Amino acid sequence: MVKEIDTAETFNGLISSGKVIVDYHAQWCGPCKVIGPVFEAQSTKFPDINFVKVNVDNLGDISASAGVRAMPTFQTYKDGVKIGEVLGANQKALLDLIQQLADA
């Protein structure tokens, strides 16, 4: 299941422990809409990973502090430390990123 982040406090709490993958997206972003269902489908395959979404238009402070400069951007965190990133709607790269986090 994918959780939509609504506050910086929620975001910081989630990434501080465990394995987390973040989808930085925007409602108007075509590539985000294309890759979104792939991201959501993976959330059921990896129950030990927290899958979260951050709308960059609503939470610009989070995306800015994470260094997001393109949409979509996917970042992985383990116990609060960023360990990977994929820019763009590249399905193979996203699947590889998720698998790397699962194996971490």
Residues belonging to the active site? 29, 32
Beta-carbon count within 10 A of 68 CB: 21
CA–CA separation, 17 vs 66, rounded Å? 17
